[in-house]
Amino acid sequence: MKRHDLLIRNVLLRHQRVDVAIKGERFTAVAPAGTIAPESVHRVIEGHSFLIRPPFYNTHTHHAMTLLRGSGEDLPLMAWLQERIWPQEARLTPELVAAGTRLAIVESLHSGCVAFNDMYFHQPAILRTAIEMGVRARVGLMVMNQVSEHIENEAALEMLPDLPPTVQLSLAPHALYTTTPEQLRHVAREADRLGLPIHLHAAETRTECAIAQARFNAATPIAYLEQCGLLRPGTILAHCCHVTDEDLARMAARGVIVAHCPQSNQKLGSGIFPWVRAAKAGVAITVGTDGAASNNSLSMIAETKAAALSAKLGAASPEEVPLAQIDAAVTQIAARALGFPEAGQIAEGKAADCLLIDLNAPAFAAGNDPDADFLYAGDTSCVDTVICAGRILMQGKIVPGEAAIVAAAREAARKLRGE
């Protein structure tokens, strides 16, 4: 008899009742309900009141900025950075970054997200926290045209051989306005040497477009990044609000991935990513929350709805970005973009990442399409259980140690304000 570690029995998957079994870090069976013998399983979860879904994979974050949430409201991007964010970040320590990252992971788990693509300081602290919390992560080696003791690239790179398969590194130059051409070309060479992917902000604001033209004599930020060798398969560009058709053609041809951050873009007044034009050009699209200081939520449920609705509005058509497309963008496509190609699907042999959604929540009372109800009407109160790589990270809407994590983050935020 085939044995399993965990059986989720009689759960709803794509309008059908199934049994889902897990052994180790993989789904070992997805079968009609009642066909997997419970005696062959170490642990059983009764799934009759749950919808099972792949989790979210957040493709652009600054997780420790949970400590800066609510700082500098209603300012444009550059003033927000220079007047409010950067002065506080000067006081960062590894301990503060770890506290903020733990808080972000707790918040993310409540919204059903198991992975984040981070660009922030004191990266070893982020790596250790991701491992400790059991989530998937890609953490960036930061590049900026300023010397900062908060950037610990060498120490993070030393950790690379010992990282678990769920945690990875990338090269993360911040943006064209905080780097030099020489630095970006060096990043391209390092990406080839180390075999690491690239992650950076791109074409976020009209100011950035003007900088590309005035400072670097490039038609657009995307054209400039291509000149520097950063447009390549797997590169993740965050935002991309101001892109031309020529830019999109370049991005599609090079295999570049967009991390669309609709709520941050809207809150900062940065612009609107042209989802429909990008999709028709063949660009791979995913969704990210950005940091909690500019969003201000890390809910991937809310971000997914915002992404879909802004795309429909931009195209002036409800038929654009159908449910299956937005669903794939935040699950299977995003997992692949972050280097986890076996994740984002509930199927035998795939990585055992999943959510159990509470069908007793008001959003599901009509019972027409539970997956649509979750993405368009659900919220964090609907997410009961989160499993990542076969490990239960949240159950009964409780993350172990959550109260202590929140308390530590509250104290860390006070220190960051200098109180």
pLDDT in tens, 111-124: 999 999 999 999 99
Could you identify the residue written with the tokens 């044995």?
3
Whether 174 and 105 map to the same domain: the answer is yes
Among the candidates 307, 337, 367, a domain finishes at 337
Average pLDDT for 397-418: 96
Q: HSE (CB half, 13 Å, CA atoms) of 361?
A: 20
pLDDT-derived band of residue 391, with 50, 70 and 90 as boundaries? very high
Q: What is the pLDDT of residue 1?
A: 55
Q: What is the mean pLDDT of residues 299-305?
A: 98
The neighbouring-strand residues paired with 11 are: 18
Tens digits of residue pLDDT in 60-91: 999 999 999 998 888 887 888 888 888 889 99
Q: Which of 282, 306, 337 is the last residue of a domain?
A: 337
Residue 416 inside a domain? The answer is no
pLDDT for residue 268 is more than 90: no
Residues 143 and 155 placed together within one structural domain of the fold: yes
Q: Count how many Cα atoms sit within 13 Å of the Cα of residue 99 in the half-sphere of its side chain.
A: 20
Torsion angle in degrees (nearest 10) through CA of 77, 82, 83, 85: 80
- pLDDT level of residue 135 (50, 70, 90 thresholds): very high
Q: Are residues 150 and 97 in the same domain?
A: yes
How many helices, marked H, and strands, marked E, lie in the chain? Answer: 16, 16
Would residue 342 count as lying in a domain?
A: no
Residues above pLDDT 70, as percent of the chain: 100
Dist CA 314 CA 329 (whole Å): 18
Q: Do residues 178 and 198 share a domain? A: yes
Tokens standing for residue 46:
């009764």
CATH number, residue 314 = 3.20.20.140
Interatomic CA distance for residues 419 and 407, integer angstroms: 16
316 lies in the same domain as 385? no
Residues 366 and 329 in one domain: no
Residues 77, 268 contacting (CB under 8 angstroms): yes
How far is the C-alpha of 397 from the C-alpha of 371, rounded, in Å? 19
203 vs 225: CA distance, rounded Å: 10
In a domain, 410, yes or no: no
Is 347 a domain residue?
Answer: no
Cα dihedral 76, 121, 406, 91, rounded to 10, equals -80
Give Cα 229 to chain centroid, integer Å.
24
Q: Do 310 and 251 lie in a common domain?
A: yes
Q: What percent of the chain has pLDDT over 90?
A: 90
Asked whether residue 171 is domain-assigned, the answer is: yes
Task: Tell me the average pLDDT of the chain.
Answer: 96
Residue 64 lies in a domain: yes
The pTM score is 0.97
Kindly state whether residues 325 and 249 are assigned to the same domain: yes
**Residue written as tokens 């959510």?**
355
Q: Is residue 132 part of a domain?
A: yes
Give how far Cα 218 sits from Cα of 91, 177, 202, 318, Å: 35, 13, 13, 36
Task: Say how far apart CA 10 and CA 45 lie, in whole Å.
Answer: 9
The residue among 109, 166, 42 whose CA lies nearest residue 387 is 109
For β-strands 16-23 and 4-13, DSSP reports them as antiparallel
CB 58 within 8 A of CB 105: no
57: its two tokens: 């994979």
Residue 217 lies in a domain: yes
Contacts of 208 (CB under 8 A, 6+ apart): 175, 176, 177, 202, 221, 242
Residue 32 has pLDDT above 90, yes or no: yes
Query: What CATH number has the domain bearing residue 49?
Result: 2.30.40.10
CA atoms within 13 A on the CB side of 353: 24
Nearest to 351 by CA among 45, 24, 36: 24
Name the band, by pLDDT with cuts 50, 70 and 90, for residue 177: very high
Same domain, 137 and 72: yes
Average the pLDDT over 207-219 and give the result. Answer: 97
pLDDT at 395 over 90: yes
Q: Are residues 248 and 128 located together in one domain of the fold?
A: yes
Q: Are residues 114 and 156 in the same domain?
A: yes
Task: Report pLDDT for 294.
Answer: 87
Asked whether 163 and 194 are in contact (CB, 8 A), the reply is no
Tens of pLDDT along 333-349?
999 999 999 999 999 99
Quote the number of domains for the chain: 2
Residues 10 and 93 in one domain: no
Report residue 127's pLDDT band, with 50, 70 and 90 as the boundaries.
very high
99, two tokens = 């506290």
Looking at residues 153-177, what average pLDDT do you find? 98
Containing structural domain, residue 19 = 4-54+355-402
C-alpha to C-alpha distance for 382 and 239, rounded to whole angstroms: 28
